[in-house]
Structure 1
């Protein structure tokens, strides 16, 4: 007899009122935000559930519904030197909403007086302004457009505002989101009263999120299901380590008692030191290794770290190109870098490079370009390892790899035009829509990228790494 699908019979907690509207149903939010809500609920501190909004047309909310919105988080790794292997059925989600199928159900979320928080993780590309979005659209294309429509509905109902917490990995993510919402308020002529309500009744928080979430453990799912005694198509694997830094009003600690639940959460008036350290030393190497190692036939972060050539490459990037550019004490950065390497080497986590590769261009811009610029300004030379990563991305996005790039339709379309130009490399580097600036202004970059692509084409990615390692 086959295993039974995970369902409501596995619930142990009450189904609490929906206090959270969450944009995004991917593995990260489920293993980060929803997991933390579960921990608060278990300690009777929050007593709130989540309504998950699927922000794009295709997603996994129907899979959640098939399991009565339950799923399992599997934590494996080391935390404070202790080996951890544990799993937990997460019961935080109450319902899912698909605006592309039922827009009215989406707007009806504004009627809920219990709803107090909005969380989102729509990837780095998600917080973007689309001038074609209109209030009358059902739904709007962009996440900020959808959010503005929901906030306006809330306003017209005369209800209180929200605590809006962005988890996208861009700097000042909450500020960026609010700026775009205000742009839509102007574009759609929503009026001064709405803008005043938006400013006075809503708080937009910028954040730093940190937990490695490889996602669904394809290689072990069947084995785990047999061990647990139920089928779960939405298992999320994550490391035990977590830090959540939130910049904004300290009253949030009482409204959202994460720290009281013994979670590693910091509410601060300045998150920049935390962000610079994490984005530079954790996300930066991820974004470097993904294109180069994939071109060499390597599939996971763990395989990168167990390969002597690539281990040296990433270690040297950390210590020679990244740490010198971060304005924090050397000993603190060294300690953090060594901790990051331990997390990368986690034998329980099969973190696929292909998952890191999603929306690579915006990730390079957010995670590596700031380090590149600081290094170039301080050293008056180019960081070789970051430059090789850039060259590898240009090779992949030109369609010259055994795998296709995974990015937004706009980015894919932009590269489709770039490869038609007479000088693809120069045109791509000069494209301000991709990078926010003309990268050919950096002396020697076009020549070095051209050279790196030649080595990648003729000798392969490992040879390119070995040349730099020497």
Structure 2
């Protein structure tokens, strides 16, 4: 079977062709972190916006860690299919990605693109750990060897913040005009966080003050909230895409019908007409952001750790367990909802019901261990904020604390209840192993892990209620397993 590419377009069924002619779309967006999520989310919105209102908003996708996406998409002229799985399955080829770049091998080209007047927008989905910051403080980890190397002038820059700052330096020198840096990662106030990290980096440079002053005048950092579940693509998914296309597609991404994008409308150099594609443009992303991070992401992490420990490979399998499903529902309603400021007209109860329905979707096959990755980077915004707010209100957030305890059990034992190994894929994995190596009891494991100040901060570990709730939950998981710990 021939491979998808520009030459295949005339032979595709009309209903699956791109909404725009890819050959006529010039690059105006540089996207850092072109993984499956971006291709199923922002790239789809952007293509629909261009189809509705025009504009030179083609995307140059930058991969940070490997050539995998380059090898998938370059031979296909940047084209790939989006396979949407719900009650029915649909597929369409997307043509918004017009160029691809591997930062580790093409650092000079990346810097040139960031400095080009035609580049007016940089978007990011590099995951929480890609920011190389302490989640509890939001500050750049200057002790990180790669960050230190980038500050010292190592070429090409190894970190996302280093790449951005060196690109902004080149842009300022070229007098190439203003630009917007738009974070689309699951971080509270992600625009403000990115701005702070860029300025932290500038402060370490000899000419940092002048660069920071130019950034204040010429660069905007809007916040955003993104929501779409995008599991890892399987061989079966690629086979189904090939059947529907009549061509082999190595870049197929799989997703659900639901999608949401809320963006702070503060752009320094224009933007696609995303509102024509259903994006919510607002002056304040924070209420939407808190709802999504705490209701969806907090629940997702909790059920992923509980599910993986219980031996469930996929989210839908875990949600079929009445105990886990009950914890998710109570976490949302009892612990999270009281902490939220709900936008006018937004039905938060309906949103929770919709989330539970999405988690039950068996067609997605979203792996629990995939969601369990990078827990040290995710816990602060997904669960710890909820816990801190409920404790301050005099409540006992037992379900959110169970989520933390499930993470602790996962990283402490690195195995499911049946003895099968679980991968601890985390930037602090070595420290987690060292901290828990000598823990013989649940209480000792809690005491050890709560010393991670960059995760738990300085105040929360000293709260007796929090410590006891987490310890009680971890003891229940240790003695009776997930079934005992989720008995409501």
TM score, norm. by length of structure 2:
0.87
Q: Distance in 1 between matches of 2:211 and 2:320?
A: 55
Q: Deviations over 1:312-347 (max 9, x none)?
A: 221122222222222338982212111212222234
What displacement does 1:181 show? 1.1
Equivalent residue for 2:272, pick from 256, 262, 270: 256
| Residue in 1 that maps onto 2:100 | 96
Q: Distance in 2 between matches of 1:200 and 1:331?
A: 35
Q: Distance in 1 between matches of 2:168 and 2:267?
A: 23
What displacement does 1:86 show? 1.8
Equivalent residue for 2:40, pick from 13, 26, 31: 31
Provide the aligned C-alpha RMSD in A.
Answer: 2.3
Equivalent residue for 2:6, pick from 5, 8, 22: 8
Residue 277 (str. 1) matches residue 298 (str. 2): no
Residue 22 (str. 1) matches residue 26 (str. 2): no
Counterpart contact for 2:50–2:272, Cα < 8 Å:
no
Equivalent residue for 1:63, pick from 53, 63, 72: 72
Q: Distance in 2 between matches of 1:17 and 1:224?
A: 27
Equivalent residue for 2:483, pick from 458, 462, 468: 462
Structure 2, unmatched stretches of 5+, are 10-17, 134-139, 143-147, 416-420
Matches within 5 A, 1:40-189: 40-57=49-66, 59-77=68-86, 85-127=89-131, 128=133, 129-131=140-142, 132=148, 133-134=150-151, 136-189=153-206
What displacement does 1:264 show? 2.3
What displacement does 1:434 show? 2.2
SS at match of 1:427: helix
Decide which moves more: 421-430 or 85-94: 421-430
Equivalent residue for 1:322, pick from 321, 326, 336: 336
What displacement does 1:56 show? 2.8
Equivalent residue for 2:436, pick from 416, 419, 429: 419
Counterpart contact for 2:314–2:365, Cα < 8 Å:
yes
Q: Deviations over 1:288-334 (max 9, x none)?
A: 11101110011222223333232222112222222222233898221
SS at match of 1:175: helix
What displacement does 1:219 show? 3.9
SS at match of 2:222: strand
Counterpart contact for 1:358–1:407, Cα < 8 Å:
yes
Residue 291 (str. 1) matches residue 308 (str. 2): no
**Distance 1:398-1:191 versus aligned 2 partners, 3 A rule:** closer
Equivalent residue for 1:358, pick from 345, 367, 373: 373
Q: Distance in 1 between matches of 2:193 and 2:338?
A: 28
What displacement does 1:57 show? 4.9
| Residue in 1 that maps onto 2:15 | none
| Residue in 2 that maps onto 1:80 | none
Q: Deviations over 1:96-151 (max 9, x none)?
A: 11121232222221353221110001111222324213252123232111110111
Counterpart contact for 1:211–1:242, Cα < 8 Å:
yes
Q: Distance in 2 between matches of 1:224 and 1:17?
A: 27
Counterpart contact for 2:302–2:406, Cα < 8 Å:
no
Q: Distance in 2 between matches of 1:393 and 1:235?
A: 31
**Distance 1:365-1:58 versus aligned 2 partners, 3 A rule:** farther
Q: Distance in 2 between matches of 1:361 and 1:178?
A: 22
Q: Distance in 2 between matches of 1:310 and 1:425?
A: 22
Counterpart contact for 2:436–2:445, Cα < 8 Å:
yes
TM score, norm. by length of structure 1:
0.90
Counterpart contact for 1:37–1:46, Cα < 8 Å:
no
Residue 428 (str. 1) matches residue 445 (str. 2): no
Counterpart contact for 2:182–2:221, Cα < 8 Å:
yes
What displacement does 1:17 show? 1.3
